[in-house]
Structure 1
Amino acid sequence: MKLHLSAPSNTLIKTEVKITGSKSESNRLLLLQALYPAITINNLSNSDDAEVMQKGLKIEKGVVDIHHAGTAMRFLTAYFASQENKEVVLTGSKRMTERPIKVLVDALRELGADITYENNEGYPPIKIKGKKLVQNKVSLPANISSQYISALLLVAPKLENGLELELIGEITSVPYIKMTLGLLTQIGVESSFNGNTIKVLPQETLPAATLVVESDWSSASYFYSIVSLCEVGTEITLSAYNKNSLQGDSVLAEIYKDFGVESTFGEHQVILRKTTSTVNKTIEIDLANAPDIAQTIVVSCFGLGIGCYLTGLHTLKIKETDRLEALKEELGKLGAPISVTDKTLTLKPSDKINKDIAIDTYNDHRMAMAFAPLALKTSLYINDAEVVSKSYPDFWKDMESLKFQVQTS
């Protein structure tokens, strides 16, 4: 599906949007619910990834196809490895078979797991024969995707002896690790995170508990971008959000101050207001703890005509696509002076924005949604726009509620 996007006739927007539950929190809680059935989940994400996760957890034997869902691949690898009498082949899309899984597989094997590669060493598909894991100490490089770490932490309380995980080197994506540990605390599992060592104590059973998933801060980023590109006075209320969020992407509220956007928190909501049109000419941000908002931020900068230097982006190369190269290609089409390395992105200030450019999305939901706010500055097309269903199925409907013109072309 190819969409043509253009701006609302009135760019002084005042509206409310309710956003689905966080995909990151939902998938963590779904795994914990599979381990502890007494858990009830409210405001579950309606994303494709959460749906894939739910379906995968119900399979006992056979093929589990998680399509493009990287979180599900990592979490289900740990889950099936620790489940006695379950035997599956875990696979996904072509891109998924190109995304490395070796670090997690090696760690699980060290704990006693039975996992073999079906085709290429280090990559899905993988065959998993679930068994009781009794080893309780393992180490991982600290600068890898936090999903590998969270996968181990989520199954840890059900391991007979719990888990002691040592992270080697400088830790990245700390907020995502703390989100996982925070959810474990909420359900009554004891853990500690001191220096580079994380310990999770075993917990055989848990009492009944109901957990409410906070709405997705990554999804909120696109509305921060919209407000930053709109007139002073624009106001969008988003729900359901908490000031003291477990999600690392909540750093948006601080980052977008540089773009003239203020955040005011109410009861389970945040109000975004465009208060000033003055911004720094070039901003520098280390996104090692929140790499998923890099695409949104660089597109906001481009739309505002300012420069940015983004670091801590090394994990973007193994996402749904190589996001650094994808950004370079698509922003380049629009006329952006952009360059990338394997872990940084540099955008120089520019007032030039090409018109009627078709943005390729590379099977990456965030490419589609990050570029959409640019419709406030130029008319553009989004190729394969349905890819947003991976994390935010209602995105285009919500764009229409803001009076954007969204037309199939």
Structure 2
Amino acid sequence: MKLLLHSSTCNLQPAICISGSKSETNRLLLLQALYPNLVLENVSNSDDSEVMLKALKHPTETIDIHHAGTAMRFLTAYFAVQVGNEVVLTGSSRMQERPIQILVEALRQLGADIHYENKEGFPPLRIKGKKLIQNKVTLPADVSSQYISALLLIAPKLENGLELTLEGKITSVSYIKMTLALLNEIGVKTSFSDNKISVGHSELAETSKITVESDWSSASYFYSIVALSEIGTTIQLSSYKENSLQGDSVLAAIYQDFGVETRFENNTIILRKTHNCQLSGVQYHLNNAPDIAQTIAVTCFGLGIGCHLTGLHTLKIKETDRLEALKNELTKLGANISTTDDSLTLEPSSDIKENITIKTYQDHRMAMAFAPLALKTNLIIEDAEVVSKSYPDFWKDLKTIGIRMNDFIV
């Protein structure tokens, strides 16, 4: 289905409540499965988290996680330590093209029994749960941090804990630190020094209740909306912490360059457009926050400024090749853009073509990143319902702030 967004303006001072971070929720759901005394509040209502919860609460012989990459990585590790259980973990056709060999090999180093059902190195996986005695593993650090987090999350249930050695430059270190901070919050002892991470064995979790912070990736689209709006535009978002565990919280600093001020009050952030961007171009290294690259690129295009974004090599193995997808869709709108395996360069431009159809490639972030351009031009979003993967209320919330759109059309 397609959604037509009309060129419009944003209302002043709406308040939006965004559900819990998908990244935090999925980590905590796995920990709750390992330590049932944990109580979680403000969990994400995303498709990914719903799939994760269903697999943990009601496992079946074959578990289909659809497009949920985080769930695929985390559940691979989880079912590897479920003694006596055997499952086949599969997903969408795109998921079966996303590599998982590095994680599987690491789990095998620990003694896990995992086999590929079809193509070597890719889902679906047949996992026979067993007690893992080994406690030392080495893996490359310059791939998805979800491989590393998957191992860390099951580490406290390993009889001898885990000593993890990372080889090479670490990717998305903020997500690794998030995982370790959540382990610490429930009473698990960890250490992270240079390229070595240690996690102690723990039978019981100390914390009984954890409130999940709202998702900063979801907040990025409202930062973009404010940046593309008139001076004085204000949006209030909840619930957010100034000392966030989420790497995407760097948005608050980055969007100052685009004239957006962030003010923290209690558990909310207030975004306000204070001035127009005077820059001709910006440069950001997003190794620790790659999920906001699409938002930033579209914001820059909408403002008519250039950008050079680096540290993006993980985007090629997401729901789609996000670098190629960005290049394709921004070019259709009139952008001059080039990409490499880990970077994107957008030249300044002043013209935006109208009534362009944006292909989303089954990627929720493509739909949401391009939506703020409705403040500049009419555009059509294909497969608009794909946003349910991480933010089911996205279109409803955009209507709340005054973005005009028609009903879903075929």
Tell me the equivalent position of 1:400: 399
Q: Which amino acid aligns with 1:162?
A: G
Q: Is the 8 A contact 1:12 1:230 kept in 2?
A: no
Question: Which SS does the other structure have where 2:16 is aligned?
Answer: strand
Q: Is the 8 A contact 2:11 2:402 kept in 1?
A: no
The Cα offsets for residues 203-256 of structure 1, whole Å up to 9 and x where unpaired, read as 012245100000000000000000000001011010000000000000000000
Matches within 5 A, 1:19-30: 19-30=18-29
**Ranges in structure 1 where 5+ consecutive residues have no aligned partner:** none
Tell me the equivalent position of 2:123: 124
Matches within 5 A, 1:31-46: 31-46=30-45
Distance 1:238 1:355 in 2: 30
Tell me the equivalent position of 1:4: 4
Moved over 6 A (4+): none
Tell me the equivalent position of 1:104: 103
Tell me the equivalent position of 2:176: 177
Distance 1:259 1:208 in 2: 40
Matches within 5 A, 1:5-404: 5-8=5-8, 10-11=9-10, 13-207=12-206, 209-404=208-403
Question: Which SS does the other structure have where 1:381 is aligned?
Answer: strand
Q: Is the 8 A contact 1:61 1:87 kept in 2?
A: no
Distance 1:278 1:361 in 2: 28
Q: Is the 8 A contact 1:61 1:86 kept in 2?
A: no
Distance 1:307 1:61 in 2: 49
Question: Which SS does the other structure have where 1:14 is aligned?
Answer: coil
**Ranges in structure 2 where 5+ consecutive residues have no aligned partner:** none
Q: Which amino acid aligns with 2:21?
A: S
Deviation at 1:7, TM superposition (A): 3.4
Q: Which amino acid aligns with 1:308?
A: C
Q: Is the 8 A contact 1:117 1:125 kept in 2?
A: yes
Q: Which moved more, 1:201-210 or 1:99-108?
A: 201-210
Distance 2:59 2:229 in 1: 50
Q: Which amino acid aligns with 1:317?
A: K
The Cα offsets for residues 318-361 of structure 1, whole Å up to 9 and x where unpaired, read as 00000000000000110100011111000000001000001010
Q: Which amino acid aligns with 2:14?
A: T
Deviation at 1:172, TM superposition (A): 1.5
Count of residues in correspondence between the two structures: 408
Q: Which moved more, 1:126-135 or 1:399-408?
A: 399-408
- Quote the sequence identity (%): 67
Deviation at 1:58, TM superposition (A): 2.5
Q: Is the 8 A contact 1:12 1:231 kept in 2?
A: no
Question: Which SS does the other structure have where 1:238 is aligned?
Answer: strand
Q: Is the 8 A contact 2:10 2:401 kept in 1?
A: no
Q: Which amino acid aligns with 1:392?
A: Y
The Cα offsets for residues 155-175 of structure 1, whole Å up to 9 and x where unpaired, read as 000100000001111111011
Cα RMSD after superposing both structures: 0.9
Distance 1:375 1:69 in 2: 28
TM-score by length of 1: 0.98
Distance 2:364 2:11 in 1: 27
Distance 1:279 1:57 in 2: 50
Distance 2:59 2:69 in 1: 20
Deviation at 1:279, TM superposition (A): 3.1
Q: Is the 8 A contact 1:115 1:126 kept in 2?
A: yes
